[in-house]
Amino acid sequence: MSDSTESKSTDINKDSGEKRVGVFVCECGVNIGGVVNTKAVAEYIGTLPGVKVTSVNKFTCSDSGQADIQNKIKEHNLNRVVVAACSPKTHEPTFRACIEQMGLNQYFLEFVNIRDHCSWIHMWEKEKATEKAKDLIRMGVERAKLLEPLQASEVPVTDKALVVGAGVAGMQAALDLADMGFQVYLVEKEPSIGGRMARFDKVFPTNDCSICILGPKMVEVARNKNIKIMSYSEVKAVDGYVGNFNVKVEHKPRYLDVTKCTGCAKCSEVCPVEVPYDFNEGFGTRKAIYVPFPQAVPLRAVLDKENCISCKACAKACQSGAINYDMQPGFTDLNVGVIIGAVGFKTYDPEPRHDFGYGLYDNVITAMEFERLLNAAGPTGGHVVRPSDCKEPIRVGFVNCVGSRDKATNIYCSGVCCMYTIKNAQLLKEKRPETDHTIMYMDIRTPFRGYEESYNRSRNLGVKFLRGRPSEVKEDPVTKNIKVRVEDTLANEIRNLEFDLLVLATGIVPHEGINQIQQLLKLSKAADGLLMEAHPKLRPVDTTIDGVFLAGVASGPKDIPYAVSQGSACASRATILLKNKKAITEGITAVVNPDVCAGCGVCLPMCPFQAIKMDETPYLNTGIKKANVVKALCKGCGTCVTACPTGALEQSHFKNEQVLAQVKNVFKFQEVVA
Amino acid sequence: MSSEAAAAPKTNGWEPKIVAFCCNWCSYGGADSAGMGRFQQPASARIIRVMCSGRIDPLHVFNAFLEGADAVLVTGCHIGDCHYVNGNDKTKIKYKFLENVVRELGLEKERLQLNWISASEGEKFANFIRDVTEQIKKIGPSPLKPEGVV
């Protein structure tokens, strides 16, 4: 009954005697209050045994809402707090900190979700929602009474970082961390860093040459002594937890010694094999041994063994004797404190569905292909030509939203296609004013600085904008021109247009490697198939895994400035851990009661983290070696607990009695209706 | 979104009570996403959060039935996506056992259901709750429900 033990700030055991519960019902403005009758709920909850006070707040998370909790803890000597509000996934830390300030153990908080799981999904059933809220809070109150104090533990953080993916977002994260003095490993699966941006011709809205602004940054990354670039490498295994990740990186064989190769490309000159050049989106060819592109970093050749015919001409041509046909994959084990995932994307492939005739008609190309044709270093030296006859097109049509905003493919907006289409049309118009451009769009979206201006510039240059989506695309069998039937929805008429070249603005989609990285880092995927952040608004670069951050398009479509900002944001978030050299981990773990454990070992194979070990010596005088949970390794999933046949294992914060208290209180005896 | 369909349940008052066990990382997030997307669903489910579907103990499931659950839902991350590597694989094994026992108890198969729902699948979560609720409304209250319990 007495809370008088004077053991200052962390007197976590404000736990003795009677359980005194305070229940705080949030209205979340009208989000909850507009549906659930919060007054009636609070009144009912107030009648439950152990509930000493209930309170309804417009916004419990606000300053005044939190002050109300703190005041009532003091006034009513509360030792358990139930907050009925939104989702614990976003707000549990807020209220844990709030009650901890009052000297309560942070695990004495029970969070009940009556917004996402109630008012928002029963908007037109107010009575039922109110009854459900009562049930949910009753469940929470009974569970709260059984909550036990736990101690979050502190783990040391290795002050090194791993950045996966060396596109512009990953490079920015690596540079920022390196400039703050931390060692960074930058792993890139391609032979060169640079990512997708290295392939763009010019970038909107300023129309800077992409590689001219990216190239120096790539060199800066290479020169930075705190950054270790691991190109042509992939993360194969990740183990451990925040502060202490053990990572296995595989270095794919380049079949040449990078310390000897100078990137002179003499080997390519003599190589007799030609394959489509992926960097140019399959236009033109490269050799089986090649330097990825002129500005590649590291500027080293790579041998594509799949296409190599082992003629050994390159070995003869190489003056530094770098070629080694027998090279095997290499592995490096890294120990890092944080991981930043900047794993990028690919563009939507219209070929399988033959969207707008792509793959059927030569003169339908994607915007990335157009981009390479525009590029002075591209396959045509910057001359946009049509694939059927290599003639320079006069009438160019652009179709927006290919693989975006379409129920048949992807429903989301890729965000960048409007702008790059506008830019592409501008660039060709500037190069060859005689060309005629028509952009067929659904909506034009130009949200950021300079974007609307760029759109206006296109209009002034004479680029035509037609609101409508082609309903039919056909090829003229003789001229190979593309005939498009499209409804001009502003003029309300059907138009039949003929183009020399049709360019599809393909959207952003996840690449094949995303599943692998998702599973390695234990991340979630969002509906668009890209990776999911911890909170869409307030923790946009964090993930639900402590110490793992996301930058760039890996977590949703973005343009370049947004991706760069996220790179910097990741670096800044990571620095909090790297600089403090410690992280706080959850106190929720499995616990063995050695008095009950029979030493059967059934739990051992249940644990994917090898956190349960059998003791070396028998327990007391029982003669039995008992199971023991290594807290630092235990992630607190509780799977072993379910397997334990004797009930010796329990999961703290999710003990059987705590879960069962909720199960039992889903139900109540029906009140007698008069 | 078929919110109109959700507004339909005006049946004579009886709403089944469904105990839904959700894992913290996926299906609980899926239920949150259902809220964020305002995917309307019958007010029948009461969610109990555990860290991993692997933590869902037959003890919890049987207790739910004994207390009066008309249905019990076991949900977690998609296979391969488990936050704890493979907790859901173990759930799958346990679920087979649970299914058998529930059948032995004479309960209809609709009363125990397993579903993998990711944190982004709000609509799937809502549809699942709606489907189960409709199935249970057809077969009526659980025969194990103690008298007087709602």
Q: Which of A357-361, A563-567, A615-619, B36-40 has the lowest mean pLDDT?
A: A615-619
Q: Which amino acid makes up residue B88?
A: N
Mutation site for B-interface testing, chosen from A591, A666, A668, A669 by largest number of B Cβ within 10 Å: A666
* pLDDT tier for residue A673 given thresholds of 50, 70 and 90: low
Q: Say yes or no for a CB contact (<8 Å) between A663 and B47.
A: no
Q: Could you tell me if A293 and A192 are in contact, meaning their C-beta atoms sit under 8 angstroms apart?
A: yes
Q: How far apart are the first and last CA of chain A?
A: 39
Average the pLDDT over A506-528 and give the result: 91
Contact B150 A664 (CB under 8 A): no
CB contact under 8 A, A128 and B84: no
Report whether A533 contacts A525 (CB < 8 A): no
A522 touches chain B (CB under 8 A): yes
CB contact under 8 A, B118 and A643: no
**pLDDT over 70 at A426, yes or no:** yes
Predicted TM-score (pTM) of the model is 0.81
A305-332: average pLDDT:
95
Chain A's closest residue to B39, CA to CA, is A121
C-alpha dihedral over A229, A234, A236, A239, to 10 degrees?
40
Asked if A670 and B150 come within 8 Å (Cβ–Cβ), the reply is yes
Would you place residue A9 in the very low, low, confident or very high pLDDT band (cuts 50, 70, 90)? very low
Query: Which of B51, B64, B90 lies at the smallest CB-CB distance from A654?
Result: B51
Query: Structure tokens of A136?
Result: 């949910």
Nearest by CB to B55, from A88, A124, A639: name it: A639
Give the integer Cα–Cα distance in Å for A336 and A329: 22
- CA–CA min distance A396, chain B (Å): 38
Question: What does the block give as tokens for B59?
Answer: 């003890």
**Cβ-based neighbour number of residue A154 at 10 Å:** 12
Q: Strand order of the sheet with strand A51-57?
A: A51-57, A21-26, A80-85, A109-113
Question: Would you call A378 helix, strand, or coil by DSSP?
Answer: coil
A390–chain B nearest CA distance, Å:
46
pLDDT for position A2: 40
Band the pLDDT of A674: cuts 50, 70, 90. Answer: low
CB within 8 Å of chain B, chain A residues 267-326 = none
- Dihedral over Cα of A543, A549, A554, A559: its sign: positive
Report chain B's terminal Cα–Cα distance, integer Å: 30
**CA dihedral sign of residues A192, A194, A195, A196:** negative
Average pLDDT over residues A249-278: 96
- A670/B149 CB distance under 8 A: yes
pLDDT for A294-317, tens place per residue?
Answer: 999 999 999 999 999 999 999 999
* Mean pLDDT value across residues A438-449: 96
- Find all residues with CB under 8 Å of A517, minimum gap 6, and list them: A164, A235, A341, A343, A523, A531
Structure tokens at A514: 């995303």
- A636 close contact with B: CB closer than 8 A: yes
Neighboring chain B residues of A635 at a CB cutoff of 8 Å? 84
**Measured between CB atoms, does A646 come within 8 Å of chain B?**
no
User: How distant is the Cα of B129 from the closest Cα of chain A, in angstroms?
Assistant: 11
Mutation for B interface: A516, A530, A642, A662, most B CBs within 10 A: A642
Question: Considering only alpha carbons, which residue of chain A is nearest residue B7?
Answer: A124
Question: Domains in chain B, ordered, with CATH?
Answer: 15-137 (3.40.50.960)
CA distance A135 to chain B (A): 8
* Residue A336 in contact with partner chain B when CB distance is under 8 A: no
pLDDT average, residue stretch B109-127: 96
Interface contact B46-A666, CB threshold 8 A: yes
Judge whether residue B2 has pLDDT over 70. Answer: no
> In this complex, do B43 and A115 lie within 8 Å of one another by their Cβ atoms?
no
Confidence at residue A463, expressed as pLDDT on a 0 to 100 scale: 97
Interface contacts (A, B; CB < 8 Å): 162
A47/B contact by beta carbon, under 8 A: no
A 136-195 → B contacts, CB under 8 A: 136, 139
**pLDDT computed for residue B1 by the predictor:** 44
Out of A59-73, A354-368, A500-514, A631-645, least confident range: A631-645
Q: Which of A125, A139, A637 sits opposite B84 (nearest CB)?
A: A637
Which residue in B36, B41, B50 is closest to A654 by CB distance? B50
Q: Is A527's pLDDT higher than 60? A: yes
- Say if A37 is an interface residue toward chain B (CB within 8 Å): no
Report the gap between the CA of A368 and the closest CA in chain B (Å).
Answer: 30
- Say if the Cβ atoms of A643 and B29 lie within 8 Å: no
Query: With 50 as the cut, is the pLDDT of residue B11 above it?
Result: no
- Chain segment A142-163, per-residue pLDDT in tens: 999 999 999 888 889 999 999 9
What is the model's pLDDT at position B12? 60
Tokens of A170: 């990953």
> What chain B residue is nearest to A589 in terms of C-alpha separation?
B51
Task: Give B14's pLDDT tier (boundaries 50, 70, 90).
Answer: confident
Q: What is the pLDDT of residue A259?
A: 94
Name residue B76's beta-bridge partners: B116
Question: How far apart (Å, rounded) are the C-alpha atoms in residues A469 and A479?
Answer: 24
B contacts of A670 (beta carbons < 8 Å) = 148-150
Contacts of B120 in chain A (CB under 8 A): 524-527, 532
Residue pair A342/A543 in contact (Cβ under 8 Å)? The answer is: no
Q: How many CB atoms lie within 10 A of CB A641?
A: 24
B-chain residue closest to A545, CA distance: B83
* Residue B148 DSSP symbol: T
Q: With contact defined as beta carbons under 8 Å apart, do A80 and A19 qualify? A: yes
Chain segment A204-250, per-residue pLDDT in tens: 999 999 999 999 999 999 999 999 999 999 999 998 889 999 999 99
ipTM above 0.85, yes or no: yes
% of residues, chain A, pLDDT over 90: 89
- pLDDT for the residue A14: 61
Contact A117 B63 (CB under 8 A): no
Residue with tokens 């699966």: A189
Mean pLDDT of chain A, nearest integer = 94
Instruction: Please indicate whether, in this complex, the C-beta atoms of A121 and B41 are within 8 angstroms of each other.
Output: yes
Give the residue on B whose Cα is nearest the Cα of A660.
B60
- Is residue B98 helix, strand or coil? helix
Helical (H) or strand (E) element with A577:
helix A560-580
CB contact under 8 A, A121 and B52: no
Selected for mutation to probe chain A from B32, B78, B92 (highest A CB count within 10 Å) is B32
d(CA A474, CA A357): 7
Q: At what angle do helices A560-580 and A168-179 cross, to 10 degrees?
A: 30
The band of B4, judged by pLDDT with boundaries at 50, 70 and 90, is very low
Query: CA B44 to CA B35: how far, in whole Å?
Result: 15
Do the strands A364-366 and A501-506 form a parallel or antiparallel pair, or are they unpaired? parallel
Among A75-79, A101-105, A153-157, name the one with the lowest average pLDDT: A153-157
A117 touches chain B (CB under 8 A): yes
CA distance B110 to chain A (A): 19
- pLDDT exceeds 70 at position A8: no
Chain A stretch 525-564, residues whose beta carbon is closer than 8 A to a beta carbon of chain B: 525-527, 532, 544
Mutate to test the interface with A, among B15, B23, B57 (most CBs of A within 10 A): B57
